[in-house]
Amino acid sequence: MLLKSGINRVGGKAYLSQWLCSFLPEHTLYCEPFAGGAKLFFSKEPSQVEILNDIDNNLVNLYKVIQNNQKREELIETLNEIPYSRSVFNHFRKSEPQDEIEKAVRYFYLSKASFAGDVSYGGFGTPSRSTTRNPSMTYQNSINALEHIAKRLKVVTIECLDFRDCISKYDSDSSLFFVDAPYLYCRSKRYYGQRFTYEDHLELSNMLHSAKAKVMFCHYENPEINKLYGDWNKYTYRSFKGSHKSTGESKPKTQECLFVNFLPVKTQGLFNGAV
pLDDT tens digits for 181-211?
Answer: 999 976 544 544 567 899 999 999 999 999 9
Q: What is the pLDDT of residues 18-40, one digit of tens each?
A: 999 999 999 999 999 999 999 99
Residue 240, classed as helix, strand or coil, is strand
Domain annotation covers residue 7 = no
Residue 9, pLDDT score:
53
What residues make up the domain containing 63? 14-260
**What CATH number is attached to the domain comprising 91?**
3.40.50.150
Mean pLDDT across the chain, nearest whole number?
Answer: 85
β 253-260/175-179 pair status: unpaired
Domain annotation covers residue 275 = no
- For the chain, residues with pLDDT lower than 50 are 1, 11, 116-117, 120-121, 188-189, 191-192, 243-248, 268-274
Residue 129, pLDDT score:
52
Domain annotation covers residue 141 = yes
Domain annotation covers residue 1 = no
E-strand ranges in the chain read: 29-32, 49-53, 157-159, 175-179, 214-220, 233-240, 253-260
Domain annotation covers residue 144 = yes
Domain annotation covers residue 22 = yes
Domain annotation covers residue 265 = no
In total, how many domains does the chain have?
A: 1
| Cα separation, 134 vs 110, whole angstroms | 16
pTM (predicted TM-score): 0.85
Domain annotation covers residue 6 = no
